[in-house]
Amino acid sequence: MAASTADALFLLGDLFEVWPGDDAAHEPGFEHECVEVLRATSERLPIFFMAGNRDFLVGPGLAQTARLTLLADPTVFSFGHQRWLLSHGDALCIADTEYLAFRAQVRDPAWQQAFLTQPLAQRRAIARAIRSESEERRQGGREYADVDTSLALAWLEAADASVLVHGHTHKPADHAVDATHWRIVLTDWDTDAVPPRMQALRLHADGHAERVALA
């Protein structure tokens, strides 16, 4: 972030492995250090944040502290002569019914309010347990569900956008949805992979999307 020459930065979810609540930003440690980086960057350029499946508890408190603008999922971004549809992508993976049921539960305001009333240490422990369970399923050979093409096309047409940009699936690639619509899948950041997977996507006013290696 310190070296970015972008005019604006869009973070489409899962910036954090887990986010136990905005009060974590005020405790010494990793979350606080991350927020300091975000805040320093926001002094140079605007930062827009969309919640993912791991940091869905990012809320107005963090947005105010780090000077972020929170985005709904999906959001239309008009830039140059292009309309881009931005999404984390998890809501489009409708074949993963187990995950979608979990998503509906944890996105419910009543569930979130009840969860956030628990002590921070307890919330951290619960979040770690959920992440460990998810990682065990992945290592057990379970494949990540992919975006449903028909639903992606419906979203694009409803938004009058030609390109969908999303993450979540851990399958970075460019896909033709149909003859006039595309979706671009962001890379998952894995510095332990060979070669390391660390990319940003740079959008240009002429409609060109460029993958930029960060490592």
| Domain annotation for the chain: domains and CATH numbers | 1-71+97-143 (no CATH), 73-93+145-215 (3.60.21.10)
Strand partners, 48: 10, 69
CA atoms 4, 62, 28, 117: torsion sign: negative
Is it the case that residue 50 has pLDDT exceeding 90? yes
Q: What is the pLDDT of residue 142?
A: 67
Q: What is the pLDDT of residue 84?
A: 97
Burial class for 158, CB neighbours closer than 10 Å (0-12, 13-18, 19+) = exposed
Q: Which long-range contacts (CB under 8 A, 24 or more apart) does 176-183 make?
A: 177/149, 177/152, 177/153, 178/153, 181/152, 181/153, 181/156, 181/157, 183/147, 183/152
Tell me the pLDDT of the chain averaged across its residues. 93
Is it the case that residue 140 has pLDDT exceeding 70? no
Distances (CA, A) of 42 to 8, 71, 212: 9, 16, 20
The packing angle between helices 109-116 and 120-139, to 10°, is 120
Mean pLDDT of 113-130: 94
Query: Which tens digits make up the pLDDT trace of 4-45?
Result: 889 999 999 999 989 999 999 999 999 999 999 999 999 999
Query: Which tens digits make up the pLDDT trace of 147-157?
Result: 999 999 999 99
CA 105 to chain centre: 18
Task: Note the pTM of the prediction, 2 decimals.
Answer: 0.93
Mean pLDDT of 105-122: 96
Query: Which tens digits make up the pLDDT trace of 166-185?
Result: 999 988 999 999 999 999 99
Is it the case that residue 211 has pLDDT exceeding 80? yes
Q: What is the pLDDT of residue 191?
A: 82
DSSP per residue, 112-159: HHHHHTS-HHHHHHHHHHHHHHHHHHHHTTPPPPPPPHHHHHHHHHHH
Mean pLDDT of 54-65: 95
The amino acid sitting at 93 is C
Is it the case that residue 205 has pLDDT exceeding 70? yes
